[in-house]
């Protein structure tokens, strides 16, 4: 609706930035994309950065001046990562270019899930939202291959829903990081067997029906997480703290001799073209994923749809302490924040906002104890800029459930704790400044 | 307007902007401090602040305004920032009845976490959206009178009453403080009175003058 005229620029720009990092890209599937875009490289008016965010006018000139340097640095990074990943591929003899099976997979998922989602999704959406034909949702789909793009017009919803595996060369990293998830799952399984008996069964049924044996542990882990909002803080403390601390010990240098090298690389920055996939690898998206879970979360909208519509206009304020009882109380706040998330960013047009709505809604249903908390909209939108929608869901879940456990719950307890710790640190390290916080 | 080098002011007043999510707090702030209104503003996460220096009764006053997230659960975070505030602008949206009904809850919030002498102005924002009005101006006046608040209807979009709202708060704060200062002088107190702590602290926080903007 707004700023349509800007749409092409930034998207091309993003693709163009990727093309600059072509050297790292071991997937031949990406070759075509970049040759198409590389042409457009120089004549774009750079008023947005590589991620499509508007550069503030006062920074614009500097941004342009430094553009070449940024580009060189990015190429350097890309080369380093490329070398690293190639080494890993040699070690583990992963078929770097063997992606055909994955593509098949993707298309399968799209076929299987696209249709049923439609019903649930379009419900809460205004009429003109659906009609938006703008192709700028491409930005959400940067990992999608060329074939899919060609069939894009007819199967738009399918594309948006798609789940895409990250490139195989990152699997070793993902495997290492996933140890953490597995362990955490097992731990909570052992510790909290009693607790999970009390849990709300809503999505449990759907999940356990589908979950493979490998995924059982994490199922239970997540169920425990959302089983009891009151115990959220304490249980998360006991569950996550040791697991996080033990992560290092868990990945012995012997199994991952390259771990240190990876750390250095991460500190040096992640090249843009790899960022979305690397984040997924680090969060362990593939290990977390339960097939159809995301789609089922969204589909459940049809059941509770009536409550939802009633509530949509009313303020979140109705939501006092009686948190979990009121269904979908987060909806009003999500709707308020959709247009207030990266406003003006070309990717957050109607399609983009629909995706963001689905993502936040699905997360809220996955973890009602948290529901929706402002700030998650920015996490979610950033993830959508970098990966396909369902991937973004699992990444968001990993980030909020694990890394920010307790942060965004109704009490925001961890967030408060962190601020107090920070205040203490300031007092200790910067006493003069600390005096001001008294 | 009113840009000055830091430290060039007589008083520093901390003011908090509170009210339900989406009532227009951030736009009121940007309108007042930068003369900007943005239809597509972003959600405020936690707290943000901006300042503007202006003249109040011939004195140079720096208003340090803290904008807060409106979502209910953020109150635990934002209430920590009420400390030291000498003024509050409590905003509701005249097109959303619920945001007006919640004013009581915000007042309770202030009573629980802010200085008891805090100066409160209630603002019914979005007065430009006349066709969507859900709260009558009289209702606003009635509530304000009952609760002893100042009241204005504002429009950040049109800039209506934004300046006036802040001027009113700041003037009232200034009057209270100068009265206190006078009283303190007359009493010739040997030491500063703790009851005046809030204001003193704020002035301290500026790193400008030491104690006593109001006690000397």
Q: Where are the domains of chain B?
A: 11-181
Q: Which residues contact A398 (CB under 8 A, 6 or more apart)?
A: A181, A283, A284, A285, A288
- The predicted model gives A252-270 an average pLDDT of 84
Cβ–Cβ below 8 Å for B42 and A340: yes
Quote the pLDDT of residue A135: 36
Using a 10 angstrom Cβ sphere, with 0-12 exposed, 13-18 middle and 19 or more buried, the burial of residue A305 is middle
Which range marks the domain in which residue A429 is found? Answer: 406-437
Inform me whether the pLDDT recorded for A317 exceeds 60.
Answer: no
Comparing A143 with A370, which gets the higher pLDDT?
A370
Mean pLDDT of A27-37: 33
Find residues 130-189 of chain B whose CB sits inside 8 Å of chain A. Answer: none
Rounded to 10 degrees, the C-alpha dihedral A80/A84/A87/A92 comes to -160
Q: Please give the mean pLDDT across all residues of chain A.
A: 66
Question: CA of A416, closest CA in chain B: separation in Å?
Answer: 6
Minimal Cα–Cα distance from A257 to chain B, Å? 40
Comparison of pLDDT for A54 and A375, the residue scoring more: A375
- Pairwise CA distance, residues A252 & A268, whole Å: 23
Degrees, nearest 5: CA angle B171-B177-B178 = 90
The reply to whether residue B21 touches residue A419, judged by beta carbons under 8 angstroms, is no
A340 and B204 within 8 Å at the Cβ level: the answer is: no
Predicted confidence band of residue B188 (pLDDT cuts 50, 70, 90): confident
- What is d(CA B184, CA A223) in angstroms, rounded to the nearest whole number? 62
Does A377 sit within 8 Å of B71, measured CB to CB?
no
Considering only residues A311 and A276, tell me which one the structure prediction assigns the higher pLDDT: A276
Tell me what pLDDT residue A175 has: 86
Distances (CA, A) of B56 to A22, A258, B161, B168: 60, 64, 16, 9
A positions 285-344 inside 8 Å of B (CB) = 314-320, 333, 336-337, 339-344
What b/e string do you get for A308-317 counting C-beta neighbours within 10 Å, with b at 16 or more? Answer: beebeeebbb
Mark yes or no for CB contact A412/B76 under 8 Å: yes
Put simply, whether the predicted model's pTM sits higher than 0.80 gets the answer no
| Nearest-Cα residue of chain B relative to residue A319 | B72
- Tell me the CA distances in angstroms from B126 to B100, B129, B141, one per residue in order: 12, 6, 16
Task: Answer whether B65's CB lies under 8 Å from B15's CB.
Answer: yes
Average pLDDT over residues A235-256: 49
Q: Which pair of structure tokens corresponds to residue A243? A: 């697991």
- Report the range of poorest mean pLDDT among A126-140, A205-219, A321-335, A397-411: A126-140
pLDDT greater at residue B64 or residue A54: B64
Instruction: Classify strands B150-153 and B47-56 as parallel, antiparallel or unpaired.
Output: unpaired
Adjacent-strand bridge partners of B152: B123
Poorest-pLDDT segment among A341-345, A434-438, B37-41: A434-438
Between the ranges A114-123, A128-137, A186-195, B84-93, where is the mean pLDDT highest? B84-93
pLDDT band at A56 (very low <50, low <70, confident <90, very high): confident
Put simply, the answer to whether B105 touches A317 (Cβ < 8 Å) is yes
pLDDT tens-digit readout, A33-43:
333 333 333 33
CB contact under 8 A, A374 and B201: no
Residues A417-435 have a mean pLDDT of 91
| Residues B74-80, mean pLDDT to the nearest whole number | 91
User: How far lies A401's CA from each of A218, A320, A404, in Å?
Assistant: 12, 23, 6
Does the beta-carbon distance from B21 to A344 stay under 8 Å? Answer: no
pLDDT bracket for residue A267 (50, 70, 90): very high
**Mean pLDDT over residues A385-391, rounded?**
95
Query: Is a pLDDT exceeding 60 seen at residue A151?
Result: no
Q: Model confidence at A363, in pLDDT bands (50, 70, 90)? A: very high
Collect all residues of chain A within an 8 Å Cβ-Cβ radius of residue B96.
Answer: 315
In chain A, the number of structural domains is 1
pLDDT at A409 over 60: yes
pLDDT range class, residue A149, cuts 50, 70, 90: very low
Q: Which of A370, A374, A412 to mutate to test the interface with B (most CBs of B within 10 A)?
A: A374
Lowest mean pLDDT among A48-57, A156-165, B202-211: B202-211
A427 phi and psi angles, rounded to 5 deg? -55, -40
Checking if the pLDDT of B8 tops 60, the result is: yes
Q: Check residue A256 and give its pLDDT.
A: 80
Lowest mean pLDDT among A28-42, B16-30, B175-189: A28-42
Least confident residue range of A31-35, A193-197, B197-201: A31-35
SS (H, E, C) chain B: CCCCCCCCCCEEEEEEEEECCCCCHHHHHHHHHHCCCCCCCCCCCCEEEEEEEEEECCEEEEEEEEEECCCHHHHHHHHHHHCCCCEEEEEEECCCHHHHHCHHHHHHHHHHHCCCCCEEEEEEECCCCHHHCCCCHHHHHHHHHHHCCEEEECECCCCECHHHHHHHHHHHHHHHHHHHHHHHHHHCCCCCCHHHHHHHHHHHHCCCCCCCCCCC
Report whether pLDDT(A231) > 70: no
Which of B74, B96, B99 has its CB closest to that of A412? B74
Q: What is the mean pLDDT of residues A47-57?
A: 84
pLDDT of A47 higher than 70: yes
B119-157 pLDDT tens trace? 999 999 999 999 999 999 999 999 999 999 999 999 999
Quick check: B210 pLDDT over 90?
A: no
List the beta bridge partners of residue A48. A54
Most confident of A24-33, A175-184, B25-34: B25-34
pLDDT digits (tens, 9 = 90+) for A322-342: 444 446 889 999 999 999 999
pLDDT score recorded for residue A87: 84
Mean pLDDT of A140-147: 38
Of A229-243, A263-277, B147-161, least confident by mean pLDDT is A229-243
Residue A388: half-sphere exposure toward Cβ, Cα within 13 Å = 23
* Smallest CA–CA distance from B99 into chain A, residue: A315
**Per-residue confidence (pLDDT) for residue B186, from 0 to 100:** 87
Winning range, highest mean pLDDT, from A78-92, A101-115, A252-266, A391-405: A391-405
pLDDT band at A101 (very low <50, low <70, confident <90, very high): very low
Q: What average pLDDT is seen over chain B?
A: 87
Query: Rounded to an integer, what distance in angstroms lies between the CA atom of residue B186 and that of residue B203?
Result: 22
pLDDT of A79 over the 90 cut: yes
Residue A306 has pLDDT above 60, yes or no: no
Per-residue DSSP letter, A46: -
**pLDDT value of residue A180:** 77
Chain-centre distance for alpha carbon A292: 17
Whole-angstrom CA distances from A318 to A335, B20, B72, B101 are: 15, 11, 10, 10
Q: Write down the pLDDT at residue A141.
A: 37
Most confident option among A18-32, A245-259, B90-104: B90-104
- In this structure, of A45-54, A334-343, A405-414, B163-172, the range with the lowest mean pLDDT score is A45-54
Within 10 angstroms of residue A28's Cβ, the number of other Cβ atoms is: 10
Q: Is the pLDDT of residue B81 over 50?
A: yes
Cβ contact B90:B81 at 8 Å: no
Share of residues in chain A with pLDDT > 90 (%): 33
Interval A141-156 mean pLDDT:
40
From the options 3.30.360.10, 1.10.10.10, 3.40.50.300, 3.90.700.10, give the CATH code of B11-181.
3.40.50.300
Which chain B residue is nearest to residue A315, measuring alpha carbons?
A: B98
């Amino acid at each position: 609706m707004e700023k349509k005229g800007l749409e092409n620029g930034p998207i091309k720009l993003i693709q163009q930035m990727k093309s600059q990092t072509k050297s790292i890209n071991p997937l031949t599937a990406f070759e075509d994309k970049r040759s198409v875009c590389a042409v457009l490289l120089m004549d774009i008016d750079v008023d947005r950065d590589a991620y499509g965010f508007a550069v503030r006018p006062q920074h614009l000139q500097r941004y342009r001046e430094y553009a070449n340097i940024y580009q060189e640095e990015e190429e350097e990074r890309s080369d380093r990562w490329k070398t690293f990943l190639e080494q890993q591929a040699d070690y583990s003899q992963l078929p770097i270019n063997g992606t055909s099976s994955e593509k098949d997979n993707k298309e399968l998922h799209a076929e299987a899930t696209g249709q049923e989602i439609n019903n649930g999704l379009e419900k809460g959406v205004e009429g003109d939202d659906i009609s938006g034909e703008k192709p700028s949702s491409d930005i959400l789909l940067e990992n999608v291959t060329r074939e899919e793009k060609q069939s894009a017009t007819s199967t738009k919803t399918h594309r948006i829903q798609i789940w895409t595996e990250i490139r195989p060369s990152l699997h070793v990293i993902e495997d290492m990081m996933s140890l953490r998830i597995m362990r955490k799952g097992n731990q909570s399984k052992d510790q909290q067997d009693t607790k999970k008996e009390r849990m709300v069964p809503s999505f449990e049924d759907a999940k356990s029906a589908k979950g493979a044996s490998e995924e059982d542990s994490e199922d239970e882990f997540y169920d425990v997480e959302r089983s009891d909002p009151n115990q959220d803080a304490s249980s998360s403390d006991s569950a996550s703290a040791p697991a996080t601390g033990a992560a290092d010990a868990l990945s012995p240098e012997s199994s991952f001799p390259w771990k240190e090298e990876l750390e250095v690389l991460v500190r040096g920055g992640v090249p843009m073209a790899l960022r979305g996939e690397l984040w997924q690898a680090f969060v362990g998206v593939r290990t977390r994923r339960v097939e159809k879970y995301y789609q089922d979360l969204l589909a459940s909208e049809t059941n509770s749809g009536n409550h939802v519509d009633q509530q949509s206009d009313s303020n979140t304020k109705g939501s006092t302490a009686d948190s979990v009882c009121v269904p979908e109380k987060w909806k009003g706040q999500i709707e308020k924040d959709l247009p207030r998330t990266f406003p003006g960013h070309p990717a957050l047009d109607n399609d983009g906002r629909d995706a963001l709505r689905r993502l936040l809604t699905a997360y809220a249903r996955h973890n009602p104890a948290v529901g929706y908390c402002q700030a998650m909209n920015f996490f979610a939108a950033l993830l959508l800029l970098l990966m396909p929608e369902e991937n973004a869901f699992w990444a968001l879940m990993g980030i909020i459930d694990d890394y920010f456990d307790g942060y965004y719950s109704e009490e925001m307890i961890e967030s408060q704790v962190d601020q107090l710790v920070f205040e203490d640190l300031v007092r200790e390290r910067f006493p003069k400044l600390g005096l001001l916080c008294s | 307007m009113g840009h000055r080098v830091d430290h060039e002011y007589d008083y520093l007043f901390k003011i908090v902007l509170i009210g339900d999510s989406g009532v227009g707090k951030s736009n009121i702030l940007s309108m007042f401090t930068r003369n900007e209104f943005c239809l597509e503003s972003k959600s405020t996460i936690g707290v943000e602040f901006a300042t503007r220096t202006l003249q109040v009764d011939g004195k140079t006053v720096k208003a340090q305004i803290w904008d807060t997230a409106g979502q209910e659960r953020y109150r635990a975070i934002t209430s920590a920032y009420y400390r030291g505030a000498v003024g509050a602008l409590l905003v509701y949206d005249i097109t959303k009845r619920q945001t007006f009904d919640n004013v009581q809850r915000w007042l309770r919030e202030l009573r629980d976490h802010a200085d008891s002498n805090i100066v409160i102005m209630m603002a019914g924002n979005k007065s430009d959206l006349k066709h969507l009005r859900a709260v009558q101006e009289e209702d606003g006046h009635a509530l304000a009178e009952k609760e002893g608040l100042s009241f204005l209807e504002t429009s950040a979009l049109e800039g209506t009453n934004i300046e006036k709202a802040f001027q009113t708060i700041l003037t009232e704060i200034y009057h209270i403080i100068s009265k206190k200062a006078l009283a303190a002088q007359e009493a010739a107190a040997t030491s500063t009175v703790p009851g005046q702590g809030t204001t003193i602290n704020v002035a301290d926080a500026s790193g400008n003058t030491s104690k006593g903007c109001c006690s000397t």
